[in-house]
Amino acid sequence: MLLVVGRIGRAHGVRGDLFVEPFTDSPDERFAPGQTLMMSNDQSLTVATSKWHSGRLVVHFVGIDDRTAAEALKGSELTMDVDPQALPEDPDEYYDHQLVGLTVVLTNGDVVGVVSEMVHLPSQDLVIVKRDSLPEAMIPFVNEMVPTIDVVAGTMTITPPPGLLNEAEAIVLRDDESQSSPDSDADESDTDGDTDA
């Protein structure tokens, strides 16, 4: 099955090197020389070299030898064909296909919905939860909000903050000025010499 492993960023230099944002916890393995990756247009790319530069992954693909060719690939997602039975080495890591389809529940056992998609953004990953007769919910994929995943049982337990699943439960924060009483406002206006028309 195809696994999304990264997204191509901007060109680096003039010889076809590209910054790549990895969506994998094994970037050195996924982007090792000789690995073949696919783009959404079914074009395949073979890794010629990869290295880290100032904390960012720089990849050179076979046949992409100038800046113009490199810039044409910017924004493309990269996928790799992997064994669907293969699991990440770290027991706390998961592939998207392991999470899609899990039943999402609260800590009290209430069912929220089903994971329909995993979205990888530059800032964080999101769990998209399909709910019956309600809009989809987007849950940040962080330990604080997704403390427990049981692939065998088919469940993902979430602890969303108030308002994430139901806007009516959102906590409204007010500044001191908005909490001041009408009387205090009137006193201030009298002091300043303001009058109502």
pLDDT in tens, 21-70: 998 878 898 999 999 999 988 899 999 999 999 999 999 999 999 999 99
pLDDT, position 25? 73
Contact predicate 165/112, CB 8 Å = yes
The whole-number pLDDT of residue 188 equals 45
What percent of the chain shows pLDDT beyond 70?
Answer: 81
CA 37 to chain centre: 21
Residue 197 included in any domain: no
67: Cβ–Cβ under 8 A, 6 or more apart, which residues? 11, 13, 14, 15, 16
Same domain for 74 and 138, yes or no, is no
Q: Which domain holds residue 17?
A: 2-81
**Pair 100, 68 in one domain:** no
pTM of the model: 0.55
Task: Answer left, alpha or beta for residue 63, where phi above 0 means left and psi between -120 and 50 means alpha.
Answer: left
Report residue 174's pLDDT band, with 50, 70 and 90 as the boundaries: low
**DSSP notation for 77-140:** EEEEE--TT---SSTT---HHHHTTPEEEETTS-EEEEEEEEEE-SS-EEEEEEETTEEEEEEE
Q: Does 139 reside within a domain?
A: yes
Query: 191 in a domain, yes or no?
Result: no
Assign residue 120 the CATH number of its domain.
2.30.30.240
| Domain contains 106 | yes
Mean pLDDT over each residue of the chain, to the nearest integer: 84
Which CATH number fits the domain that encloses residue 19? Answer: 2.40.30.60
pLDDT value at residue 46: 96
Question: Which is it for the CA torsion 90, 91, 93, 99, positive or negative?
Answer: positive
pLDDT at 196 over 50: no
* Ramachandran area for residue 142 (φ above 0: left; ψ -120 to 50: alpha; else beta): beta
Helix (H/G/I), strand (E/B), else coil: 165: coil
